[in-house]
Amino acid sequence: MTTTVSERAWIGKDLKRREDPALLMGTVTYINDFKIAGMLHAAVLRSPYAHARIRAIDTSAARALPGVQAVLTGKEAAEVIGPVPAFCAEPVVEHAIAVEKVRYAGEAVVAVAAESRALAEDALDLVEIDWEPLPAVTDALSAMQPGAPLVHENLGTNVVYDHVFTFGDVDGDFARADHVIRRRLRWPRATAAPLEPNGAVCAYDPARDTMEIWSNTNMLNSASWVMSSMLKIPPHKLNFYPMYTGGSFGSKHFLAKVIGIAGALSKVTGRPVKFMEDRLDNLMANDSQGPERLYEAELAVTKDGQFLSLRLRTIDDYGAYFIFAITGNTNMMAQITGPYTIRSVETGIKAVLTNKNQQTVFRGAGSDVGNWVLERLVDAAAEQLGIDRVEIRRRNFIQPDQFPYKIPTGNVYDSGNYPGVLDLALGHFDLDAWRQQQAQARQEGRYLGIGLATAQQRSTYSSTEFWFHNPAPATGLNSTPESVRISVGPTGGVTVTMFSPFWGNSPETVVAQVVAEELGIDPRDVNVTYDSTAHALPSAGPGGSRMTVMLAGAVHGAAARLKEKIFKIAAHMLEASVSDLELVGGQVRVKGVPSSSVSLADIGMRAYWFKLDLPPELESGLEGTFTYDHPYTTKPHDDRKDLGVFYPIMGHAAHLVAVEVDIETGAVRFKKYVAVHDVGTVLNPRSLQGQIRGGIAQGIGLALLEEVRYGPDGQNLTSTFVDYLLPSASDVPAIEVYHHETPSPFTAYGVKGGGEGGRMVAPPAVTSAIEDALRPFGISIDEMPITPEKIVRWVKEAQSRHQRQTN
C-alpha cells in the first residue's frame, strides 16, 4: 500500500522473534507462574458419571479441614455467579459448577479454595455426593432416536439445531450431472490440547465491587462485557490482564468456566483465588473439543470432470453444551466449495447433544473438516472418472483473473493463484519420479502412496458467522476490531502497546517489524508492551487467523497518525513545509538536504516538554492510536440465500506427500512432504514456516493418531497424554515449506492470515497418500484417524474379499 516490495526494509525479513529470549530463559510469567499476596488455590471435584442427578452433597467434612477457606457446590456458586455466557439462540444453559445434574463425565460438581492446591485436593476427598445415575447417550445417532435420554430436558430433543442451507440451483445441477460421486465420511473428535492448561487468578474487592482477573483467555476485550453477566459485576469494574499463553489453537477463547470458578471463590472469600486446570481437568472438561461429524457427501460432475454442485448432509456431535452454537459449521461455509468453480451448494446440518464435553473450536474451526470432505470427493471423482488427480483439480480451479470471486454462499475470495501454487509444489516434488518409485515398489511388494490436496485457508474472521445460521430477523455482532497505540517518548524511544495477549504466535515481532517499516527505524529498538482491558482500545483478540492481518492494519493506521504529528513538529522546527519532509532512519529531514534534519528524540522532547515551542494548535505528547476494523465484511441477506462477505481474506495451499505403508504392521512412514502456502505478502518467512509446519504436525496427528474417545457409559477414555496421542518428534517428518505470494487487495501490505493453514490442508493430503498406497487393495478411506490397527484390518478384509472372489 504505502511501500512497494522492493522498497521494504523490514517486512518480509527473517527477523528473530523478540518474544523468544524470555521464553528461552524461563523468565516469562504464564498464568500458573503468577502469584499475588493472599492468594488461595482452588481445586475442582469432577463428576464420575456421564449423566446423573445430584440428590445431595455433604461438604461439612471438607469445610472442617484446616486451611480450607471455601467450599462451593453448584447451587451455592449460583448464588454469586450466573451461568456461563453462551452465543447460542437455543436455551442450553451451562454453569461453571453443575447445578442439579451433570451432563458429561468430568463436569465440575464442587470447588474448594484453600491455602494450597494440595490442601484443596485433600478437601475434595472429603466431599460426599448422593448420585442418581441416569442413562448416558454417547453417540449422535443414538441421541437422535425417539426415547433417547435427554441431555437437556427443556429442549424436548437432543437435536438442538437442524437446518438445510441451499445456495444456487443444486437440484438442477445434480440433474444435469453425468456422474454423482458419493461418500459417507467420518471426521473424528479431536482436541487442541495445548501444553499449557487453562487458568485464572481472580481478585474480588468487596469494598469497590471490582474484580481484577489474570488469565490465559485470548479474548480479553470481549471477555469483559461477555463475562460480566456471569460474574455479576459491571463490565467497567472488571479488569483483565493479558498473560503469556502456552498455546491455544482455539481452545482459550473465553475460559468462562475457570474464570467463573476462581471468581465465585474469590467473591465468597474476599481473597484472590487461583484456579489452574491440571491435565485431567483440561482433557475432560476444557470445552474445546473439535467437531465429530458424519457426512453424506455428494459431488455432481460432468463427464469431462467439471464439478457442478456439492450436496452435504452432516450430523455433528456437539457434546453436552452449545456455547458457540454451530460455529464450526457456519465457518466452513466461507470456503465450502474450495478453490473450485462449483456453482451451487447445499449443506444440511443436524447438531446433536450428547453426554460428552462440548465442542467449540479447534484450529480450522470446521473449515478443516470441509477441506477434507471436499478433497475426499475430488479424489473419488478422479478415480471414478479415470482422470488424473492433478488434472481434475486444474480443470476446476478458479483462475487468477476471476478474483475477487464470489462463491455460492455469498462469501468473496479476495485473490489467489491456485495453478501457480500447484505448479510450485509440483516443481519441488517430482511427481513422475515418485510414480516410478511407486510402481517399482509395488513389484517388490511394498506400498508407496502419493497424496495431494489443494485447499483453502480462510483468514480474518468477521463475527456474523456466529449468528447467521439463525433465520432473519435474528442478528448479532458484526465487528471485530483490533487496536494499537504507538508512543514516541521524550527521548525518542518508540513503544507499541497491544490490547490482545501473546498466545504462542509472534504478535510482538509482527508489530515491531511493521512499526519499523513505517517509521524507518530498527525493529530491535522498538519496545512492545500490553495493556489491561481497563485501558484498552477495541480489540477482539486472536482467533480465525486474524492477528497478523489486524495488527498490521492497526500499526499501519496508528503510524500514519503519529507521523502526521511528527511531521508537523519537524516542519515547525526546520521551518519547512510538511510536504518537503521525509522520515528516514529515525530522522526527519528536508528532502534532498540531509544536513537539515531533526531526530525522533529532538521531536519527542519538543512534543512533551516544550509546549511553547510547538505549533500552537498541537497538544503535548506524541502518540498515534488506531482501531483497525475488518477490512471487508457485509451483512447476510434476510433470506439467508446470501450470507454476505464474512471471511474474504483467502489463503490457499497445495500439499504433496509420499508415504510408505507397511501392510503387516500398519505403520505409515513419510518419504517426502512438500507444502506450498499462499497467504499473501509474507511478513516474517521463518515465523510463517513455523506456523505451517506446526499446523501440519497437528494435521498429521489428526490423520494418524488423535481421537477423543468415550466408552459406552460415557467415560472419557483419553483423559491423559498416554491415551490422547499427540504426535511426537518421531511421528512428524521434515517438511519442505515454500511461500507463494498473492497479495490481498484489501489488507495493509497485502497480508493474509496463515495460522491455521497447515492443519487445514494436511489431513486430506495424508489421507490421499495412504489411500493411494492401498490402491491395489481397492480400499477407500472414509474416516480418521488412520491407525495401524485400521490399516491392518482393512488390508485383511480386502484380501479375504479377494480370496472369496477368486474361489
Partner 1 sequence: MEDDFIPVRLSVNGVPHRLFVEPRRTLLDMLREDLELTGTNAGCEHGSCGACTVLLDGQSVRACLLLAVQANGHEVTTVEGLAQHGRMHPLQEAFWEKQALQCGFCTPGMLMTAYELLQQNPDPTEEEIRSALSGNLCRCTGYQHIVEAIRLAAQRLREGAEAATSSGTTA
> Which residue ranges make up the site for partner 1 (CB under 8 A)?
16-17, 19-21, 23-30, 32-33, 118, 192-196, 244-247, 249, 278-279, 503-506, 686-687, 689-691, 693-698, 720-722, 726, 728-730, 732, 734-735, 758
Choose between 60 and 720: whose C-beta lies nearer to partner 1: 720
Bridge-based pairing of strands 273-276 and 40-46 is: parallel
Choose between 14 and 79: whose C-beta lies nearer to partner 1: 14
Q: At its nearest, how many Å lie between partner 1 and the CB of residue 108?
A: 19
Choose between 439 and 717: whose C-beta lies nearer to partner 1: 717
Q: At its nearest, how many Å lie between partner 1 and the CB of residue 275?
A: 14
First to last CA, the chain: 70
Q: At its nearest, how many Å lie between partner 1 and the CB of residue 280?
A: 8
CB atoms near residue 627 (< 10 Å):
17
Q: At its nearest, how many Å lie between partner 1 and the CB of residue 509?
A: 10
Beta strand segments in 343-446, E: 344-353, 405-406, 412-413
Q: CA–CA separation, 531 vs 544, rounded Å?
A: 22
Q: At its nearest, how many Å lie between partner 1 and the CB of residue 590?
A: 40
For residue 396 the three cell numbers come to: 476446476
For residue 586 the three cell numbers come to: 529515525
One-letter amino acid identity for 512?
A
Q: At its nearest, how many Å lie between partner 1 and the CB of residue 630?
A: 25
Q: What are the φ/ψ torsions at residue 668 (nearest 5 degrees)?
A: -110, 125
Choose between 449 and 758: whose C-beta lies nearer to partner 1: 758
Choose between 402 and 720: whose C-beta lies nearer to partner 1: 720
Choose between 548 and 698: whose C-beta lies nearer to partner 1: 698
Smallest CA-to-CA distance from 569 within 596, 595, 605, 607 is with 607
Q: At its nearest, how many Å lie between partner 1 and the CB of residue 692?
A: 8
Choose between 21 and 135: whose C-beta lies nearer to partner 1: 21
Choose between 624 and 701: whose C-beta lies nearer to partner 1: 701
Q: CA–CA separation, 396 vs 476, rounded Å?
A: 35
Q: Is the dihedral of CA 559, 560, 561, 566 positive or negative?
A: positive
CB 502 within 8 A of CB 218: no
Q: At its nearest, how many Å lie between partner 1 and the CB of residue 408?
A: 34
CB atoms near residue 783 (< 10 Å):
14
Q: CA–CA separation, 216 vs 212, rounded Å?
A: 13
CB 253 within 8 A of CB 543: yes
List, in order, residues 6 or more apart from 534 with CB less than 8 Å away.
Answer: 236, 239
Helices 685-704 and 757-773 cross at an angle (nearest 10°) of 50
Q: What are the φ/ψ torsions at residue 101 (nearest 5 degrees)?
A: -145, 160
Q: At its nearest, how many Å lie between partner 1 and the CB of residue 717?
A: 15
Q: Is 372 helix (H, G, I), strand (E, B) or coil?
A: helix
For residue 57 the three cell numbers come to: 452433597
Q: At its nearest, how many Å lie between partner 1 and the CB of residue 73?
A: 25
Choose between 27 and 595: whose C-beta lies nearer to partner 1: 27
Choose between 415 and 698: whose C-beta lies nearer to partner 1: 698
CB 412 within 8 A of CB 632: yes
Q: At its nearest, how many Å lie between partner 1 and the CB of residue 31?
A: 11
CB atoms near residue 405 (< 10 Å):
18
One-letter amino acid identity for 587?
Q
Map grid coordinates 506427500 to a residue.
657
Choose between 20 and 79: whose C-beta lies nearer to partner 1: 20
Choose between 363 and 568: whose C-beta lies nearer to partner 1: 363
Q: At its nearest, how many Å lie between partner 1 and the CB of residue 24?
A: 4
List, in order, residues 6 or more apart from 74 with CB less than 8 Å away.
Answer: 54, 95, 97, 98, 99, 100, 108, 109, 110
